[in-house]
Amino acid sequence: MAACELLSSSSSQYSAMGKFRIQGSPVINLSEIVSSSSNVNNNIDDTTVNKQPPESPIQVTEEQKLVWLGAAKEAARLAGKEVRSAFYREKTVTMKSSPADLVTETDQNVEKMVFSFFRRKFPTHRFIGEETTAAGVPIELTDEPTWIIDPIDGTNNFVHSFPFVAVAIALSVNKEIEVAVTYNAILDVMYAAGRGMGAYRDGKRISVSGATDIKESLVVTTAKSLLTPTKMEDTFHNLRSLLERGRGIRNLGTAALNMCQIAEGAAEVYFEFGIHCWDMASGALIIREAGGVVLDTAGGPFNLMGRCMLAASSMDLAQTVASGLRHDHKKPDTVEPVYLRSTKD
């Protein structure tokens, strides 16, 4: 099957308004999530795999990538159906780290569903997921095929029924992202990429705008709420310097879909601090396959575990923005960095 055929979508419409309520106590059943979604390997001994990583990299063929991409799209559509059916209903919401960091039963159910889907298809594959991590499972990325999943990217949007909510799925092999999908489950738009195969929106090839000048650039970023006064000052500094030089600032409220705006040339710069590997994995590949540049916010090599990203339609633009940013350093997702090679390597 051609790569672009793996990208077509069916359409769907929803209209009712939803409500939500926030609960104080967590709704996560830790043991259930851990047992259903930890790095379970039905065929081989995981301990052995972890202690003795393969000496030579796992070979990845184009055929395998197409199979994985097809599976990722199927999983995203199944997940999207769940997300849409819950989107306008009353939601049970639980706070995580702050009143702006929320989780719903749908996030947790969709993550379990997606893990089970892949486990049935690929019993030896491993998993990293936002809600599994929130439930206490450590993030561990080995060379083995590992699905990195954000079941609902834009949980705040989901809670408010703001129609930018993504299912973000990426597969890492040898610590490289090989296939990725970001699916706007409400508007039914599928972004997809395979390493070395290009990036697509609903089956059509996409590419960055190529802009090199900040004066001609739209910037996409999240100005996080409820920060400490110092971090708030740094945020205002960053926004101000970009507003003074660029064409404007936008935010869709989901990191994964923000990144897709760079990939399809709708905006030129994206940066964010504090995001995690499941927010970044799919977008990083989609942007690079669309011809864009993905770095860390200081303009250095992109670390999937580094909790920040700067993406742009060109290297010149990325470096201009990096040099003007005040940085917000967060504890990385893992101690060992994971630097993704350029997709041209």
Catalytic positions: 130, 150, 152-153, 155, 279
Q: Work out whether 76 is an interface residue with ligand IPD (CB under 6 A).
A: no
The DSSP 8-state label assigned to residue 216 in this structure reads G
- Residue that has been written with the tokens 């708030």 in this structure: 232
Instruction: Pick the closer one to ligand IPD by CB: 252 or 321.
Output: 252
Reduced to 3 states, what is the DSSP secondary structure of residue 5?
A: helix
CB of 246 to ligand IPD, least distance (A): 19
String marking each residue 279-308 x if it binds ligand IPD according to CB under 6 A: x-----------------------------
Amino acid at 156: N
- Residues found in the chain: 345
Q: Which of residues 219-238 bind ligand IPD (CB under 6 A)?
A: 222
Q: Work out whether 343 is an interface residue with ligand IPD (CB under 6 A).
A: no
Return the residue of 155, 172, 184, 282 that touches ligand IPD, per CB under 6 A: 155
Q: What angle do CA 225, 230, 234 make, to 5 degrees?
A: 75
DSSP per residue, 236-291: HHHHHHHHHHSSEEE--S-HHHHHHHHHTTS-SEEEEES--HHHHHHHHHHHHHTT
Return the residue of 173, 199, 255, 260 that touches ligand IPD, per CB under 6 A: 255
Q: Work out whether 163 is an interface residue with ligand IPD (CB under 6 A).
A: no
Type and span of the H or E element at 105: helix 105-121
Q: 128: number of CA atoms within 13 Å, CB side?
A: 25
Q: Work out whether 275 is an interface residue with ligand IPD (CB under 6 A).
A: yes
Q: Work out whether 66 is an interface residue with ligand IPD (CB under 6 A).
A: no
Q: Work out whether 309 is an interface residue with ligand IPD (CB under 6 A).
A: no
Q: Work out whether 108 is an interface residue with ligand IPD (CB under 6 A).
A: no
Q: Work out whether 194 is an interface residue with ligand IPD (CB under 6 A).
A: no
Q: Work out whether 153 is an interface residue with ligand IPD (CB under 6 A).
A: yes
Q: Work out whether 333 is an interface residue with ligand IPD (CB under 6 A).
A: no
Neighbours of 190 (CB within 10 A): 24
CA distances 51 to 41, 55, 123, Å, are 15, 12, 20
Burial of 128 (0-12, 13-18, 19+ CB in 10 A): buried
Q: Work out whether 130 is an interface residue with ligand IPD (CB under 6 A).
A: yes
Stretch that binds ligand IPD, among 17-25, 45-53, 116-124, 251-259 (CB under 6 A): 251-259
CB of 58 to ligand IPD, least distance (A): 29
Instruction: Pick the closer one to ligand IPD by CB: 94 or 314.
Output: 94
Query: Residue 22, Cα to own-chain centre: how many angstroms?
Result: 25
Nearest to 168 by CA among 118, 129, 208, 116: 129
Give how many residues touch ligand IPD by CB under 6 A.
Answer: 14
Q: Work out whether 332 is an interface residue with ligand IPD (CB under 6 A).
A: no
Q: Contact residues for ligand IPD (CB under 6 A)?
A: 130, 150, 152-155, 222, 253-255, 272, 274-275, 279
